[in-house]
Structure 1
Amino acid sequence: MTSVAAAIAGVLATGDPRAKIAAARKVARDWRLGRLDWRFDTPMPDRPARPAEPELLPPSAMPRRGKGSQHGRIALVHAIAHIEFAAIDLAFDIAGRFGGTFPRAFTDDWLAVGADEAMHFALLDRRLHALGSRYGALPAHDGLWEAAGDTAHDPLARLAVVPMVLEARGLDVTPATLARVEAAGDAPTARILRRILSDEVRHVAAGTRWFEFGCAERGFDPQATWQKLVTQHFRGTIKGPFNDSARDSAGLTREYYAAIAR
């Protein structure tokens, strides 16, 4: 029987967006149906495969998005689609890289998250086509995978930075984005954003739950450990405004982030 690690590595080695969606869904389904063996015998690549487009730029070199225009709406949907595309690899990588150090339920959670991210990307890619564009038509940045590279050595650091900082930031900013989209009368994009926001609460909850599990195993205080790891491994700043209610629903209480927020 194929190992789950080998199947995950296959997702990470797939660059074409539509093929990656199909691979991600198949691995998540095969795992759920017991068709993959819980073995971690295949190393994860340092970087996942990427399509020829979009052009990847440093975050500081990204062009500003216009607001209110059709081009601005396309740029917004494209930016979110790119985040979701990268999130597919982030979810599968954390399962394949660190699954052997956690109980089997860890793999259950992160392959389910990866399937969610693939679904989000598929919805946004379809929306881009409806708006007369496509994924890859605009440049994007590679900041999300930089965070993965910085935390590839430590599961607690990865959990602290990716789901508990980067994805939690989505809980903070998506409601305002959703309000702007609704005000512009773009109901199809609004429906997608509402689905993403709902799913992100579960994703942040999974990150927080497994972070606390790992801290308990090591005898670490979770809030103090999170603050230390974020200070060491996150290149940005923790800044509000915060969606405290959504964060609380995910178990990411103010005791984690208030002390280091700006």
Structure 2
Amino acid sequence: MVLESPDPRFKIAVTHAAHRSLGAGAPAVGAAAAVGVPVGAAAAPSKPARPARPELVHPRAIPKPGPSSPLPWPAHMLHNLAHVELNAIDLAWDTVVRFSLLAGEEERGKGEGERGKVTPDWKLPRQFFLDFVHVADDESRHLAWCLQRLEEMGFSYGDMPAHNLLWKDCEKSANHVQDRLAVIPMVQEARGLDAGPRLVERLIGLGDTRSAAVVAKIAQEEVAHVAVGVAWFVWVCERMGVDPHLSFTTVIQALCADGVKGPFNHAARATAGLPRHWYDPPAPPTAAALLDTVTSGTAATVTPASVTPAAATSAHASSTSAHASSARSSSGGTKQGG
């Protein structure tokens, strides 16, 4: 029902109802089904329903903030954020619905085997679905804040075009729960941790402290969403018997053409449990650095102060004598061989 409705406010209402049902003790998949979310009863749709506005265009066709935008800078950024939050609701529910076929008590086994299958020997526990319904509830609240703030400024969602790039990441990660966890919470949502504080500062600089407070609260709550992704990604990797760091790198190389780019909010990412060397590995040493290391090591082994003129003369004489002796031996050996 959430994924099939084009109405953002209806998505918000249904998501809150499902979350309240879970709070009352309903089963994770049952609570969603009770409000019309087809968990375990139907496959997730290939695309979620969208309202007639905003028009979805190529990302390059989106106007930049400023003179080319139909909205003033703060409203432009709030509109972009509202679109992100709308997609985030659908992404969380798609995760619940799509991988509900894996729901059940965990069965320990030898792992998944062939990559891409969705019938591993282990099952996703109830808490997995609880966590992502909670994420959907948070995202619904975030969208409501953005819609309210846009209305306070005299605008509404749909007043400028948007793109469908965020849902492309959902499609890329649809075949494997490991892919979904890496691409959505650990990459896509982690970008929000990086961008949030910068947007808050810009809004404060423009004197829009009300919008800044909304963005700051959203960014704060997104830390938990990244943490959910990291925790379940590690859990899945452990059940598959694979290294989480290597698996994350493999998924990103396969599914994220642009990789993971900064600038990064390392503090927020660390709070979410995302290790820095996973997304920002140290650069390999340059040739100059390697040469400097070798040179420094040699200098530390033999320093000018440790070589006196007498020692240098003695060493040179010994070397010359040894070389001459070697030459004579070599010459003598040749004659004997003749």
Same fold by TM-score greater than 0.5: yes
Separation in 2, partners of 1:180, 1:55: 27
TM-score (norm 2): 0.71
Q: Distance in 1 between matches of 2:14 and 2:47?
A: 17
Conserved? CA contact 2:85–2:143, under 8 Å: yes
> 1:32: how far off?
2.6
Does structure 2 retain, via aligned residues, the 8 Å contact 1:148–1:158? yes
> Which residue of structure 2 lines up, in the alignment, with residue 29 of structure 1?
20
8 Å CA contact retained: 1:95, 1:110: yes
Q: Which residue of 1 aligns with 2:81?
A: 80
In the TM superposition, what whole-angstrom CA distance separates every residue of 1:199-223 from its partner, at most 9, and x where no partner exists? 1100000000000000000011001
The equivalences for 1:103-142 within 5 A come to 103-142=125-164
Structure 2 residue matching 1:141: 3-state secondary structure: coil
Residue in 1 aligned with 2:323?
A: none
TM alignment of 1:1-262, pairs within 5 A: 10-36=1-27, 38=29, 40-66=40-66, 71-99=72-100, 100=103, 101-259=123-281
- TM score, norm. by length of structure 1: 0.91
Amino acid at match of 2:66: G
- Segments of structure 1 that go 5 or more residues without pairing to the other structure are 1-9
Counterpart residue number, 1:6:
none
Structure 1 contact 32–108 (Cα < 8 Å) conserved:
no
Q: Distance in 2 between matches of 1:108 and 1:156?
A: 17
What is the deviation of 1:70? 6.3
CA drift of 1:36 comes to 4.8
CA distance in 2, matches of 1:260, 1:103: 36
Could you tell me which amino acid in structure 1 is paired with residue 17 of structure 2? K
Decide whether the 8 Å contact of 2:16 with 2:140 is kept in 1: yes
- How many corresponding residue pairs? 252
Aligned to 1:7: none
Identical positions, percent = 39
The higher radius of gyration belongs to 2
How far did 1:81 drift?
0.6
4+ residue stretches of structure 1 with deviation over 6 A? none
CA RMSD of aligned residues (A): 1.9
1:12 is paired with a residue whose SS is coil
Deviation per CA, 1:4-60, whole angstroms, max 9, x where unpaired? xxxxxx111111111111111111212232345636232111111111111011212
Q: Contact conserved, 1:174 with 1:193, CA < 8 A, in 2?
A: yes
One-letter amino acid of the counterpart of residue 185, structure 2: P
How many Å separate the matches in 2 of 1:138 and 1:37? 37
Moved more, 89-98 or 243-252: 89-98
